[in-house]
């Protein structure tokens, strides 16, 4: 075995990383001990710097185990967060949420820009078949599993009501994590059939999930609340959201392409302004930011010659942002909650993984996909993150009678999938031999594409 790791690091270099990480945690612990409960600006800046440094160092260490950098970022947040060592308080994590807004915008723009029309056409049949089967069979089979498991929060509910809740759980089960997918593709610089399929499926599935959520709520409400009637109003609102997001995203993409062609200067400022300003406008208009930015990136890539320049600008902007984004995601994970719900969460996540792998194999066999997709097409589908939690929160607000318990179990399942999923996807990329060159890090941030949920 060579004594040098990725980036030419020797084992002595890895040892120095470990020592530096220990010193960093010791300094943070000392600061927390001397000023317990401090919530000023210094606490937020301290949390920001700590998460950036700890996430970077830990990502280098987990790389030795074959894990993606994303896992290191997550574990840095989990360990230092308010649920484990309490080095970073809830208030500080909450005040770092603007970083999440910017990261999600960059992730969506980069994800759309990576969807090249000519490559999508090559595997379109397999992609559509996988989306259809994962949606229909995924919701149906996971609804059956949930109905048979009957977690404690549905105890005492009528059978029809449990059927309605099971349908809603089926929708949560088919959510994926674009952020985790892009994070692993970014680190490995993967190129090939599996990478193209992964990107296309995960980004397209977000649109499908939005449609299925409105459908499931409309169908489940009369089952859960017998006095309710079937209503199509949710579909009208859904249509407005999707069409508006696509229209605005197309316009935004054309404007960005024109700006890149004419000037292209100060792109860092432009991207930051888009990440914060445009997101607020989209929320005000009730449009979906992820879909809007994804369409904008797609337009820049496929309707102009500025795609490569655009992606490079996002890579330069996002290097630091993604580390903090994933570390914050780790700090948000409610570890005590996972401890309380682990039997149910383990059952549901295990069943979801089995269903996902089985359906992926079936779809790729029927579509006669590339051998890499047949073997490892399930790889990017295990991870869950912000999209799943967001949908669980929507369901909790719509159905307050069981909503809190539903959301808690969903968060516990997401915690498991968020930790295991990226590792499995990187393993799939490695086995498919699609990783290209050395992995990216903050040492060469200009080569580190986006990663990061939703």
Q: Examine the domain organization and report whether 57 and 128 are in the same domain.
A: no
Q: What is the DSSP code (8-state) at residue 4? A: B
Asked if 87 and 218 sit in the same domain, the reply is no
Residue 208, Cα to own-chain centre: how many angstroms?
A: 15
Note the pLDDT of residue 3: 38
pLDDT tens digits along 195-209:
888 888 887 787 788
- The model's confidence at residue 254, banded by pLDDT at 50, 70 and 90, is very high
Q: Which domain-ending residue is among 96, 115, 144?
A: 96
Report helix, strand or coil for 334: coil
424 and 281 within one domain: yes
- 27-36, 130-139, 292-301, 373-382, range with the lowest pLDDT: 27-36
116 and 30 within one domain? no
What pLDDT, on a 0 to 100 scale, did the predictor assign at position 453? 38
| Residues 25 and 173 placed together within one structural domain of the fold | no
Say yes or no to pLDDT of 438 above 70. Answer: no
Q: Are residues 46 and 179 in the same domain?
A: no
When pLDDT is cut at 50, 70 and 90, the band that residue 36 belongs to is low
Is 452 inside a domain boundary?
no
Residue 220: which CATH number?
1.20.1530.20
Q: What is the pLDDT of residues 400-433, one digit of tens each?
A: 888 888 887 887 888 788 778 888 998 899 898 8
Helix/strand/coil for 173: helix
pTM assigned to the model: 0.69
| Of 81, 96, 111, the domain-final residue | 96
Residue 164's domain comprises 99-447
Query: What integer pLDDT is reported at residue 384 of this predicted model?
Result: 82
Q: Do both 88 and 137 map to the same domain?
A: no
Note the helical H segments in 368-402. 371-376, 386-398
| pLDDT score, position 121 | 75
Residue 446 has what pLDDT? Answer: 35
pLDDT of residue 250: 94
- Residue-wise pLDDT tens digits, 355-369: 999 999 999 999 888
Task: List CB contacts of 85: < 8 A, sequence separation 6 or more.
Answer: 25, 29, 79
How far, CA to CA in Å, does 271 sit from each of 226, 297, 300, 310, 350?
48, 12, 14, 10, 39
Task: List the beta bridge partners of residue 10.
Answer: 4
Whether residues 131 and 82 fall in one domain: no
CB environment 329-366: b (16+ within 10 A), e (fewer): bbbbbbbebbeebeebbebbbebbbebbbebbeebbee
How many domains does one find in the chain?
2
Burial class (CB in 10 A: 0-12, 13-18, 19+), 28: buried
Determine, yes or no, domain membership for 453: no
The tokens 């309710």 sit on which residue? Answer: 228
The DSSP output letter for 40 is S
Residue 288 lies in a domain: yes
- Residues 165, 157 contacting (CB under 8 angstroms): yes
Higher pLDDT, 118 or 109: 109
pLDDT in tens, 325-341: 778 877 877 677 667 77
Q: Measure the CA–CA gap between 24 and 57, rounded to whole angstroms.
A: 10
Query: Predicted confidence band at 447 (pLDDT cuts at 50, 70, 90)?
Result: very low
Summarised one tens digit per residue, pLDDT across range 181-193 is: 877 887 777 888 8
For residues 66 and 423, give the distance between their C-alpha atoms in angstroms, rounded to a whole number: 8
Which residue is it, tokens 């005040």?
95
Which range in 21-35, 119-133, 154-168, 391-405 is most confidently predicted, on average pLDDT? 154-168
**Looking at the predicted structure, is the pLDDT value of residue 145 above 90?**
yes
Return the bridge partners of 294, or none.
none
> What is the percent of the chain where pLDDT is above 90?
17
pLDDT score for 1: 35
287 contacts: CB under 8 Å, gap ≥ 6: 241, 244, 245, 248
pLDDT 10s digits, 256-305: 999 888 877 777 788 888 888 888 888 788 787 877 888 898 899 898 88
With a CB cutoff of 8 Å and minimum separation 6, the contacts of 107 are 178, 179, 182, 318, 322, 450, 451, 452, 453, 454
pLDDT at 357: 94
**What's the pLDDT tens digit per position in 40-94?**
677 788 888 888 888 888 888 887 776 777 778 878 888 888 878 888 887 788 7
Cα distance between residue 124 and residue 356, in whole Å: 19
Last residue within a domain, chosen from 53, 70, 96: 96
- Residue with more model confidence, 98 or 139: 139
Tell me what pLDDT residue 228 has: 67
Answer whether residue 344 shows pLDDT above 90.
no
- Give the closest residue to 407 by CA, choosing from 155, 398, 163: 398
123 in Cβ contact with 193 (< 8 Å):
yes
Torsion of CA 294, 296, 301, 305, to 10 degrees: -170
Question: What is the rounded distance in angstroms from the CA atom of residue 323 to the CA atom of residue 451?
Answer: 9
Whether residue 75 sits in one domain with residue 135: no
């Amino acid at each position: 075995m060579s004594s040098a790791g990725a980036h030419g690091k020797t084992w002595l270099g890895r040892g120095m990383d470990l020592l530096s990480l220990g010193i960093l945690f010791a300094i943070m612990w000392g600061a927390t001990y001397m000023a317990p409960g401090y919530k000023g600006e210094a606490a937020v800046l301290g949390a920001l710097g700590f998460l950036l440094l700890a996430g970077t160092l830990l990502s280098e260490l987990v790389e030795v185990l074959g894990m993606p950098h994303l896992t290191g970022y997550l574990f840095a947040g989990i360990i230092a967060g308010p649920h484990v060592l309490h080095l970073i308080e809830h208030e500080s994590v909450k005040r770092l949420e603007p970083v999440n807004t910017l990261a999600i915008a960059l992730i969506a723009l980069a994800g759309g820009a990576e969807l090249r029309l000519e490559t999508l056409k090559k595997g379109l049949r397999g992609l559509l078949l996988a989306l259809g089967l994962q949606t229909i069979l995924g919701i149906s089979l996971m609804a059956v599993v949930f109905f048979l498991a009957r977690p404690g929060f549905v105890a005492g509910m009528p059978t029809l009501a449990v059927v309605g809740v099971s349908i809603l759980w089926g929708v949560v089960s088919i959510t994926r994590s674009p952020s985790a997918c892009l994070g692993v593709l970014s680190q490995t610089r993967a190129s090939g059939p599996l990478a193209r399929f992964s990107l296309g499926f995960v980004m397209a599935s977000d649109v499908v999930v939005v449609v299925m959520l409105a459908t499931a709520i409309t169908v489940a409400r009369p089952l859960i609340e017998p006095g309710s009637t079937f209503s199509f109003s949710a579909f009208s609102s859904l249509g407005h959201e999707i069409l508006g997001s696509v229209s605005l995203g197309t316009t935004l993409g054309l404007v960005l392409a024109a700006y890149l062609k004419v000037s292209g200067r100060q792109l860092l400022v432009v991207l930051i302004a888009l990440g914060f300003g445009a997101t607020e406008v989209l929320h005000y208009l009730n449009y979906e930011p992820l879909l809007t930015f994804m369409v904008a990136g797609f337009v820049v890539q496929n309707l102009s010659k500025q795609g490569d320049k655009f992606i490079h600008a996002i890579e330069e902007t996002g290097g630091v942002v993604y580390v903090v984004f994933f570390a914050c995601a780790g700090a948000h994970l409610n570890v005590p909650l996972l401890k309380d719900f682990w039997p149910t969460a383990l059952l549901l996540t295990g069943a979801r993984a089995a269903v996902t792998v089985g359906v992926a194999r079936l779809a790729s066999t029927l579509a006669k996909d590339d051998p890499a997709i047949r073997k490892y097409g399930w790889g990017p589908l295990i991870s869950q993150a912000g999209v799943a939690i967001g949908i669980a929160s929507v369901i909790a607000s719509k159905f307050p009678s069981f909503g809190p318990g539903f959301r808690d179990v969903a968060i516990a399942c997401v915690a498991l999938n968020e930790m295991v999923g990226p590792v499995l996807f990187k393993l799939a990329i490695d086995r498919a031999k699609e990783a290209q060159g050395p992995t990216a890090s903050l040492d060469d941030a200009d080569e580190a594409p986006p990663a990061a949920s939703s």
